[in-house]
Amino acid sequence: MTEPAQPAVQNELRTRIIVGVALVAVTVFTLLVGDHYIGRHALWLLVTLMSLGIVSEWADLTDRSSSKKLAQYTLFVPLTMMSPFAAGPSFLALGMIFGAAMFTAVFDRSLKLAAGVIYAGLPALAVLYLRGIDDGLLLVFWTLAIVWATDIGAYFAGRAIGGPKLAPRFSPNKTWAGLIGGMLVALLFSFALHVWWQLPFRLVLLSMPLAVLAQMGDLFESWLKRSAGAKDSGIIFPGHGGVMDRLDGLIPVAPVVAAIMLLGSQT
């Protein structure tokens, strides 16, 4: 009875792998050329598209689809300010994100969509800020790798070990074993970056708490989808779902890493 389902499962897994590798390749290539004139604009464009995609899916999941364009237009203003043509990632852009959220709240007469503007805008600002500081390539790659490693470790540890569920009300498939596995893989990968690319050891020590934060971001998005009765946040990436499905762990992690680096530069 289960044989007909096997090819479909294999095809879905193959699609997920192909699309996942393609997304990682595009991201890494964009980061590598980020020091060049075209590269800086390419990175800004990639981040902008992802941010606009996030706020669009947020609107759908929070029953604010009718005001989706309003949120995208208002968010595009601070995103434009972050471009290499303008002020770049700065406190001005940060203030404009919150200004865009206030504008959205007033015209939409709801805080739901305004929260989505902040949810989509802060990680964009964080990634662009991190890429522009000293060792920016390493820092952004480490930030992304924390999320990727956590997802990979959680997936395989959860399937291999199983056990008690982490948050069955929000995500029935996640387990405590998966969380621990994700934390350990994130720690090992960070240590490898320390050995081979001189990632500061203090950041290696932060990898496990950041892995927990990435999982919290994943759980938050799962709660949003469950509240909306949706399986995925969107359909833009075959086998993966929407933009939020791919970036749910990065959304909280990137701003925290940016804040850590900003505060560290001032001490």
Alpha-carbon distance 72 to 23, whole Å?
A: 23
User: CA dist 259 to 114, 202, 218, 265, Å?
Assistant: 22, 15, 20, 10
Closest by CA to 155, choosing from 131, 174, 129, 128, is 174
- What pLDDT, in 10s, does the model give residues 178-214? 899 999 999 999 999 999 999 999 999 999 999 999 9
- What pLDDT, in 10s, does the model give residues 8-59? 556 666 776 787 788 888 888 888 776 666 778 889 999 999 999 999 999 9
- What pLDDT, in 10s, does the model give residues 219-263? 999 999 999 998 888 878 776 688 999 899 999 999 999 999 999
pLDDT band at 103 (very low <50, low <70, confident <90, very high): very high
At 174, phi and psi to the nearest 5?
-85, 140
Q: Which residues pair with 171 in a beta bridge?
A: 167
From the CB of residue 258, how many other CB atoms can be counted at a distance below 10 Å?
A: 23
What letter does residue 64 receive in the DSSP assignment?
Answer: -
The three-state DSSP-derived secondary structure of 117-183 is HHHHHHHHHHHHHHHHCCCHHHHHHHHHHHHHHHHHHHHHHHHHHCCCEEECCCEEEEEHHHHHHHH
On whether the CB atoms of residues 215 and 152 are closer than 8 A, the answer is no
The domains of the chain are located at 33-132, 135-267
Closest by CA to 145, choosing from 176, 195, 173, 182, is 182
With a threshold of 0.85, does the pTM exceed it? yes
Detail the DSSP E strand segments found in the chain: 165-167, 171-175
Looking at per-residue confidence, does 236 or 128 come out higher? 128
Closest by CA to 148, choosing from 120, 180, 186, is 186
Per-residue model confidence (pLDDT) at position 2: 44
Alpha-carbon distance 149 to 120, whole Å?
A: 22
